[in-house]
Amino acid sequence: MKTVTTDRIVIVGAGLGALYAALKLAPRPVVMISPEPLGEGASSAWAQGGVAAAMDAKDSPQSHAADTERAGAGTVDPVVADLVTREAREYIFDLTTLGTPFDRTPDGGYVLSREAAHSFARVVRVKGDQAGAEIMAALIEQVRETPSIQVLEGTMAVDLEVSDDRITGVAIQKSDENRSAPIMLRGAAFLLAGGGSGGLYALTTNPHRIRGQVIGMAARAGAEISDAEFVQFHPTAMDVGEDPAPLATEALRGEGAILINKDGHRFMTDIHADAELAPRDVVARAIYAQKQAGNRPMLDTRAALGEKIKTQFPSVAEYCARNGIDPAQEPIPVAPAAHYHMGGITTDTKGRSTLENLWVCGEASSTGLHGANRLASNGLLEALVFARVCALNIADKVSCNEAAPLDLMFEEGGEAPDAEAVATLRNTMTDLVGVVRNGDDLRRALHTIAALEAASTSRAFLNMCATATLIAAAALKREESRGAHERSDFPEPLPGPGKRSRLMLTTALAIRAQACKDLS
Ligand SMILES: Cc1cc2nc3c(=O)[nH]c(=O)nc-3n(C[C@H](O)[C@H](O)[C@H](O)COP(=O)(O)OP(=O)(O)OC[C@H]3O[C@@H](n4cnc5c(N)ncnc54)[C@H](O)[C@@H]3O)c2cc1C
């Protein structure tokens, strides 16, 4: 493989974590690996709700941390919850300075929304449901104006180079359909900010690019993975046959929208005292049960919002319009969809992975903040906090002040994943590793993943298979139900405090091999 050496810090990804870290590293020279033009392909730009932060004088970081721990079902690291919530306000002020037009009150305060499982209104938003797009637009403008940041648009990472447990390089190639022969890029330090893995599921709210590739790449290089089994399913993705499924934001239920089935029955009142505002995993399982029973669950916004949905929730109104639904007249069909991966590459409070010279931030990481269930709007906040933490720690360790821009010449070669194999993998994850799991299904999933992996030589696909294996193996190993991880064959949580899971890919592969044996 051709090798290129640079003194730049290499950042893999171009979502919120990557952009914010690059800005905080300035003026240290950075090269950013971005598969799409900046702003595209990242979950960050699709965030509707906003960023959680205790902004109200009566609210407190302690209350925010307590809600985070409660939502996480006994597996949140309290040190990390404290670290992230304590400084949340400062990040909102910084984003404001960087140009984000947050919704403001007439007296100059921030408009705050309340979301499920928060004991306070503490989600700062932009233009109603446009938070992600607007924050990203502001940061992209800053990145474009920062001379120390070079962005390689149209490139993606497929492998890490390791020497004595230290990362020395990342193999990158062109990200278009034809790909290219990979080039090994050796840099000063490596920060992975490649997002989560929701797109490994056929039913997902995540952009196509977000398919666990960066988590899998790190696992294949020998990094430890934590909490892989904890995947959050958003209860109200729109069930309209689109891939990815558009999101009907939780804020609609906050405004009084109700969930009904084809018979008009409001089923959440039978299940939880908070009805539609019960925790996300509870609502997701209820909707899943209705769908499995053929009852066609739907979100009914008619009485709560009527025509107002069109002005107050412009994104949702647009998704409805392009699918021929008038939400002021008829309910919106919904289904739970893979939305957020609580698990990821293990990091410590400095953002360091278990491999030297490799830092991780954003959804690709597992910091211990989310436990078994992420509190709504803590995703963007975690990406911001750990992007800065990583930048500070890298700046401490790596001295590089100048580096020439890279001029890479890619040659033909490389292999894109086979579309049919990807579709089989994604259907397997939704059907067998989804909202409600059981041992037999998980073994069957591992068997299918093993067969798909054996038939492929595409590095990108091998990365996806590694993450899928880690999710299914960790789910098989966790013989209890906790937070977003529900096992119909082990419906209760184990007694005592919850434990985070830690898995090396080698162990996950051994679990997979045993599962295949058990099936034969
Ligand atoms: C529809 C939707 C709504 C959401 N709403 C909210 C919300 O309101 N509040 C909240 O806090 N969170 C929300 N989330 C979650 C939140 O958006 C994410 O957790 C957060 O944006 C993650 O940021 P990130 O930088 O880690 O990843 P991303 O923003 O996903 O960026 C990942 C980047 O990595 C790149 N990448 C992927 N693979 C490779 C590769 N192999 N090589 C190089 N680059 C690669 C991608 O192209 C992308 O640029 C939402 C998510 C979705 C999908």
CA-nearest residue for atom 9, ligand 1, is 377
Which residue out of 211, 280, 426, 443 is catalytically annotated? 280
Angle of CA points 419, 469, 355, to nearest 5°: 110
Q: In one letter, which amino acid is 223?
A: A
Distance CA 380, CA 132 (A): 8
Other Cβ atoms less than 10 A from the Cβ of 369: the count is: 27
Q: Ligand 1 pocket: which of 143, 380, 382, 458 to mutate (most atoms <8 Å of CB)?
A: 380
Residue bearing tokens 């090396």: 504
pLDDT number for residue 268:
97
3-state secondary structure of 310: helix
Report whether residue 249 contacts ligand 1, using a CB cutoff of 6 Å.
no
Do 500 and 483 touch, CB atoms closer than 8 A?
no
By C-alpha distance, which of 370, 354, 519 is closest to 450? 519
pTM of the full structure? 0.97
Helix pair angle (78-86, 88-97), 10° resolution? 40
Candidate of 36, 44, 461 to mutate for ligand 1, largest count of ligand atoms within 8 Å of Cβ: 44
Picking from 438, 497, 496, 434, the residue whose alpha carbon sits closest to that of residue 468 is: 434
CA neighbours closer than 13 Å in the CB half-sphere of residue 17: 28
pLDDT for 20-45, tens place per residue?
Answer: 999 999 999 999 999 999 999 999 99
Characterize the bridge pairing of strands 51-52 and 112-113: unpaired
**Which residues lie across from 232 on neighbouring strands?**
340
Q: Quote the pLDDT of residue 164.
A: 93
Residue ranges in the chain modelled with pLDDT below 50: none
In sequence order, the β-bridge partners of residue 2 are 183
H/E stretch holding 336 reads: strand 332-341
Residue 437: active-site member:
no
Amino acid identity for residue 452 in this structure:
L
CA distances, 34 to each of 10, 182, 276, 279, 312 (Å): 11, 15, 38, 35, 33
- Write the DSSP string, 388-443: HHHHHHHHHH------PPP-----S---PPPHHHHHHHHHHHHHHSSSEE-HHHHH
For 9, 12, 171, the CA distances from 186, given in Å and listed in that order, are 9, 13, 9
Structure-derived torsion over alpha carbons of residues 326, 331, 332, 334, reported in degrees to the nearest 10: 180
Q: Check residue 116 and give its pLDDT.
A: 79
Rounded to the nearest whole angstrom, what is the distance from the C-alpha of residue 128 to the centroid of ligand 1?
A: 19
pLDDT of residue 513: 98
Nearest 5°: the CA angle 239, 44, 323 is 25
Q: What is the whole-number distance in angstroms between the Cα of residue 157 and the centre of ligand 1?
A: 16
Q: Taking Cα atoms as reference points, which of 66, 75, 76 lies closest to residue 118?
A: 66
23, 195, 224 from 365: Cα distances, Å: 19, 8, 10
Nearest atom of ligand 1 to the alpha carbon of 156: 42
Q: What is the pLDDT of residue 272?
A: 94
The pick from 43, 172, 180, 233 for probing ligand 1's pocket by mutation, whose C-beta has the most ligand atoms within 8 angstroms, reads 43
Nearest-CA residue for ligand 1 atom 20 is 44
Distances (CA, A) of 346 to 110, 163, 226, 246, 366: 34, 19, 5, 30, 5
Per-residue pLDDT of 63-80, as tens digits, reads 999 999 999 999 999 999
Can you read off the two tokens belonging to residue 113?
A: 């929304």
Alpha carbon distances (Å) from 7 to 12, 72, 162, 174, 186: 15, 40, 18, 21, 8
- Going from the Cα of 341 to the center of ligand 1, the distance in angstroms, rounded, reads 10
- What confidence score (pLDDT) does residue 200 get? 98
Contacts of 477 (CB under 8 A, 6+ apart): 229, 501, 503, 511
Ligand 1 pocket, residue 95 CB under 6 Å: no
Ligand 1 pocket residue status of 6, Cβ below 6 Å: no
H-state helical runs in 323-403:
378-397
In contact, 193 and 387? CB cutoff 8 Å: yes
Q: Which structure tokens are listed for 173? A: 């190639």
Closest ligand 1 atom, residue 16 Cα: 25
- Cβ(469) to ligand 1 under 6 A? no
What whole-number distance in Å separates Cα of residue 103 and Cα of residue 260?
32
Return the pLDDT at 230: 98
At 450, which helix (H) or strand (E)? helix 439-454
206 lines ligand 1 (CB under 6 A): yes
377 lines ligand 1 (CB under 6 A): yes
| DSSP helix/strand/coil, 298 | strand
Task: Note the pLDDT of residue 304.
Answer: 96
Tokens representing residue 98 in the block? 């960087």
Q: Is the CB of 35 under 6 A from ligand 1?
A: yes
Given the structure tokens 């640079």, which residue do they identify? 6
Q: Give the tokens for residue 45.
A: 């730009």
DSSP state of 271: T
Q: At what angle do helices 505-519 and 439-454 cross, to 10 degrees?
A: 110
The verdict on the CB of residue 212 being under 6 Å from ligand 1 is no
